[in-house]
Chains A and B, each alone.
Chain A
């Protein structure tokens, strides 16, 4: 009885939540007049598979995908590394000014990103990084959220593990490499996913620091596609649907780690 209710609520909610995606995919494979027709049926009368190749020809999406994946994965890995090291340091070492420093790190999370544009753009050009992968990657290689999550994960580990390792003559860095990192692995995977998504879905920053088409990323490609295609709603939706696929795959691969309590158990003061 309770389970039936749960299923009903969940199914209803899920339908509401994914309706826009059904509409997106349906419209992507409609003919142009049908896509403009304002029909309430989200699915096409006849699936126009040709729309897919028409979309891919309209912009160099292959190159965009390569760039986005390269940038997203690199950012993800770098964030994991910097967060692991810094989170561990904040959790396991005591030094003067730790509280202030951690507060400053958290403060960077509270600045609206839009205002950091111009200062960061100036730094990027001074470094000669305009139109380069470095400009897309380096500024995002550390973030407060990741450091916070890793710190919480280490705080929630029982001290006994640590003490035992030290007694065995294992220093803090080797402890991190051999024991610590694997114990917070679910958190690291989570940090990777969020960093990847943040980078992959970013639009404004890539728009500002690149203009060379060979440096284009998918979101920028999508935005310029909106500009040209104007009324070609079906191709626009086809491109949008296509762009989400890597994120979905990544989520499917990583999602079992969320269930292990990567976030929930570690949220202690």
Chain B
């Protein structure tokens, strides 16, 4: 009797907990809190304090439910939590997310399309206001897998940068950081020759590879077909291969900031990272702004530059009309010109609206140190990664291919050929 009831209880629990395998895609989710609008975010320290202040101001200015920020770990952790919460059918009102994450959430029917909010007569955005956003910042939030709906809204953005250590460059007799990839390779060779040091510390990262491919004149996906076997991708992987073969670069441990450490220690001249890391880099460099700079990613063709946009968007979840309304009002407030200006000045994130540039404080910030303005200038030609279902999974394939080339176990040619096949197969499976 005892045993049977125990097994019965467990079976029952398993069935209840056990994830009703086919959740109805209609029907709302429970909000995490009924008297607050919860926002899952990943900002910490000073940036988090500023976000909290902006939120407090917003809460004071409106009648509805107050917004509450909850810091929820890094993007991987937020992603896992949201997926688990979708299963539990209880969600925060909104969360920061990359496009690939939003695409997966949307598959479960949890995401609120924002088109209606944007076009609404009151509380929406006029065409002029929409045009004030940089196109690249906005366009990746329209998802072709979901009839081109606007499923997320830009939050804090940055672009891929070439960080250059001028102490090392000077030691190698180099005047200015490279503008083209050809110059980049040449400078790496000079640095190795003159100083005996490797020039570049590589952090394995799919988005960095994507940015390199863009800047070499390539695309990632065209009409549902990956471009990893095309010349630009071959060239990007080929450059990494050459850098490793000639001992001009080395790989750092995954998900660490060892490249910034090496950079600050004058062990390397270059790292390629997003502009969001500039605050940390400034700390590591001990505030000596003359000794380093942020530069546009080297290019293949300087007349048609391209780089990659980083940074999360806000996704609003189906948690009931009032929660959704406040969540949108908050999003709109956060991306308004005055708040955006304050945010950009304090955090080093990009102002994603053009009119922010008119603010005298912004001008003063840019004048203070030339590198401050470079990310903003790159915004005009920044592109984004695909927002297709399945991209999340393909990202790890790209990083595997990169690691194989860096370890010298595969040629760039072989790695890209295999990557093309695998990525295509994964995409096909994810799109079913």
By a beta-carbon cutoff of 8 Å, the part of chain A in contact with chain B is: 32-33, 36-38, 58, 95-97, 100-101, 104, 117-126, 130, 207-208, 211-213, 220, 223-224, 227-228, 230-233
A231 contacts B261, C-beta separation under 8 Å: yes
Asked if B8 is an interface residue, CB under 8 A from chain A, the answer is: no
What residues on A are CB-neighbors of B277 within 8 Å? 230
Interface residues of B in 72-105 (CB under 8 A from A): 72-74, 77, 80-81, 83-85, 87-88, 90
A126 to B382, CA, bound (A): 44
What residues on A are CB-neighbors of B80 within 8 Å? 208
Chain B: which residue is nearest A35 at the CB level? B261
Can you list 16 A-B pairs with a CB-CB distance of less than 8 A?
A32-B284, A97-B3, A101-B3, A117-B84, A118-B87, A119-B18, A126-B16, A207-B73, A208-B80, A211-B71, A213-B71, A223-B73, A224-B73, A230-B277, A231-B257, A231-B280
A166 to B283, CA, bound (A): 72
B388 to chain A, nearest CB (A): 25
B45 contacts A228, C-beta separation under 8 Å: yes
Interface residues of B in 1-53 (CB under 8 A from A): 1-4, 6-7, 10, 13-14, 16-19, 32, 38, 40, 42, 44-45
A232 contacts B71, C-beta separation under 8 Å: no
B11 to chain A, nearest CB (A): 12
A232 to B73, CA, bound (A): 18
A231 contacts B88, C-beta separation under 8 Å: no
Asked if B385 is an interface residue, CB under 8 A from chain A, the answer is: no
Asked if B265 is an interface residue, CB under 8 A from chain A, the answer is: yes
A212 contacts B88, C-beta separation under 8 Å: no
B260 contacts A211, C-beta separation under 8 Å: no
A125 contacts B88, C-beta separation under 8 Å: yes
B44 contacts A227, C-beta separation under 8 Å: yes
A97 contacts B2, C-beta separation under 8 Å: yes
Given A121-B87, A231-B283, the answer on whether A100 and B3 have CB atoms closer than 8 Å is yes
A220 to B389, CA, bound (A): 30
Q: Which of B7, B38, B261 touches A233 (beta carbons < 8 Å)?
A: B261
A30 to chain B, nearest CB (A): 13
What residues on B are CB-neighbors of A36 within 8 Å? 261, 264-265, 284
A213 to B40, CA, bound (A): 12
B32 contacts A130, C-beta separation under 8 Å: yes
A101 contacts B2, C-beta separation under 8 Å: yes
Chain A: which residue is nearest B263 at the CB level? A231
What residues on B are CB-neighbors of A32 within 8 Å? 283-284
A31 to chain B, nearest CB (A): 11
A208 to B44, CA, bound (A): 18
A33 to B288, CA, bound (A): 14
Asked if B229 is an interface residue, CB under 8 A from chain A, the answer is: no
Q: Which of B2, B17, B44, B70 touches A228 (beta carbons < 8 Å)?
A: B44
Chain B: which residue is nearest A216 at the CB level? B71
What residues on B are CB-neighbors of A227 within 8 Å? 42, 44, 73-74
B contact face: mostly helix, strand, loop, or mixed: helix
By a beta-carbon cutoff of 8 Å, the part of chain B in contact with chain A is: 1-4, 6-7, 10, 13-14, 16-19, 32, 38, 40, 42, 44-45, 70-74, 77, 80-81, 83-85, 87-88, 90, 257, 260-261, 264-265, 277, 280, 283-284, 286
Chain B: which residue is nearest A117 at the CB level? B84
A122 to B14, CA, bound (A): 11
Chain A: which residue is nearest B69 at the CB level? A213
What residues on B are CB-neighbors of A228 within 8 Å? 44-45
A230 contacts B257, C-beta separation under 8 Å: yes
Q: Which of A122, A232, A233 touches B19 (beta carbons < 8 Å)?
A: A122
What residues on B are CB-neighbors of A96 within 8 Å? 1-3
Chain A: which residue is nearest B47 at the CB level? A228
Given A38-B265, A97-B3, the answer on whether A231 and B260 have CB atoms closer than 8 Å is yes
A118 to B20, CA, bound (A): 12
A121 contacts B264, C-beta separation under 8 Å: no
What residues on B are CB-neighbors of A58 within 8 Å? 45
A58 to chain B, nearest CB (A): 7
Q: Beyond the given A38-B265, A231-B257, A231-B284, please list 12 additional residue pairs across the A-B interface where CB-CB is below 8 A.
A: A32-B283, A96-B1, A97-B4, A118-B19, A118-B87, A123-B13, A125-B88, A130-B90, A211-B40, A228-B45, A231-B261, A233-B261
What residues on A are CB-neighbors of B45 within 8 Å? 58, 228
Chain B: which residue is nearest A223 at the CB level? B73
Chain A: which residue is nearest B261 at the CB level? A36
What residues on A are CB-neighbors of B4 within 8 Å? 97
A95 to B286, CA, bound (A): 71
A180 to B70, CA, bound (A): 47
A36 to B38, CA, bound (A): 39
B6 contacts A208, C-beta separation under 8 Å: no
Chain B: which residue is nearest A123 at the CB level? B17
A43 to chain B, nearest CB (A): 20
Chain A: which residue is nearest B80 at the CB level? A208
What residues on B are CB-neighbors of A212 within 8 Å? 70
A33 to B84, CA, bound (A): 41
Chain B: which residue is nearest A212 at the CB level? B70
A63 to chain B, nearest CB (A): 13
A122 contacts B87, C-beta separation under 8 Å: yes
Kindly list the 6 A-B residue pairs having the minimum CB-CB distance in the complex, ordered from nearest: A97-B3, A125-B88, A211-B70, A119-B17, A230-B280, A230-B257
B19 contacts A119, C-beta separation under 8 Å: yes
Chain A: which residue is nearest B33 at the CB level? A131
A104 contacts B44, C-beta separation under 8 Å: no
Chain A: which residue is nearest B10 at the CB level? A104
What residues on B are CB-neighbors of A126 within 8 Å? 16-17, 88
What residues on B are CB-neighbors of A207 within 8 Å? 73, 77, 81
A121 contacts B84, C-beta separation under 8 Å: yes
What residues on A are CB-neighbors of B286 within 8 Å? 33
A104 contacts B17, C-beta separation under 8 Å: no
B71 contacts A122, C-beta separation under 8 Å: no
A121 contacts B70, C-beta separation under 8 Å: no
